[in-house]
């Protein structure tokens, strides 16, 4: 029972991350001028609740709490990168039969005063500690960088629980620029 509960909790947190990603994509794809942050938050919540309707209510509720703040931080992170439009995502072939897809592909971004064209963006949603998973995510982005021959921006949306009575969660973004040879940390 405990093992199944933990698996469902992990799956619900992955669905939450995918819902945040889809809300950001929907916001920046073709609705940038018409879509507000609350509309994107509603979109993410709708996706999350539709995909988790067969999960236990406590798991659904606990994983849904940071969605609104994550969507807001994600849209603000893309605005910080000066992303105007997103391109259709093309796959990259890693091995004989293995294809990978980055989360986003932006026509133009600007990071640390430098402009990049056709840059892949990988989005990760995490709790307070990212040190355990950072190495694996950097390896994933290095593969994207090798195949696309461009740098990849890894964006972590990190949420943390607050002690505040009214604002339960807050989120921030961390940026990493990863190329084939090296990677840089850009604190925001």
Cα 171 from chain centroid (whole Å) = 12
Helix, strand, coil content of the chain in percent (nearest 5): 45, 25, 30
SS3 175: strand
pLDDT at 42: 92
Cβ contacts of 30 within 8 Å, gap of 6 or more: none
Residues across the chain:
188
Cβ contacts of 49 within 8 Å, gap of 6 or more: 60, 64
pLDDT at 16: 94
Structure tokens belonging to residue 96: 């004989």
Question: CA dihedral in degrees (7, 12, 16, 21; nearest 10)?
Answer: 60
pLDDT at 18: 92
pLDDT at 129: 77
Average pLDDT over residues 29-33: 62
CB 136 within 8 A of CB 31: no
What pTM did the predictor assign?
0.84
Q: What is the pLDDT of residues 149-179, one digit of tens each?
A: 888 888 889 888 888 777 788 888 888 888 7
Q: What is the pLDDT of residues 86-118, one digit of tens each?
A: 776 655 555 555 666 777 888 888 888 888 888
Average pLDDT over residues 66-87: 88
Residue 186 has pLDDT above 90, yes or no: no
Sole residue written with tokens 């994509």: 25
Structure tokens belonging to residue 91: 């796959």
pLDDT at 30: 59
Q: What are phi and psi of 57, to 5 degrees?
A: -60, -35
Q: What is the pLDDT of residues 131-149, one digit of tens each?
A: 777 777 877 777 777 777 8
Residue 180 has pLDDT above 50, yes or no: yes
pLDDT at 108: 86
DSSP E strand boundaries for 127-167? 152-161
Residue 52 has pLDDT above 90, yes or no: yes
CB 176 within 8 A of CB 184: yes
Least confident of 11-25, 26-40, 148-162: 26-40
């Amino acid at each position: 029972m405990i093992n199944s509960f933990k698996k469902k909790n992990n799956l619900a947190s992955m669905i939450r991350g995918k819902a945040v990603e889809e809300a950001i994509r929907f916001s920046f794809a073709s609705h940038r001028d018409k879509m507000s942050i609350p509309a994107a938050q509603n979109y993410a919540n709708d996706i999350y609740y539709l995909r988790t309707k067969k999960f236990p209510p406590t798991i659904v509720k606990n994983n849904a709490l940071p969605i609104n703040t994550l969507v807001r931080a994600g849209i603000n992170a893309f605005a910080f990168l000066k992303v105007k439009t997103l391109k259709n995502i093309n796959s990259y072939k890693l091995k004989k039969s293995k294809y990978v897809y980055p989360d986003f592909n932006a026509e133009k971004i600007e990071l640390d005063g430098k402009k990049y064209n056709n840059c892949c963006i990988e989005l990760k949603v995490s709790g307070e500690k990212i040190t355990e998973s950072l190495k694996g995510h950097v390896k994933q982005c290095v593969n994207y960088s090798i195949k696309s021959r461009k740098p990849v921006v890894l964006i972590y949306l990190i949420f943390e629980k607050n002690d505040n009575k009214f604002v339960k969660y807050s989120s921030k973004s961390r940026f990493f620029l990863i190329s084939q040879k090296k990677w840089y940390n850009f604190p925001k």
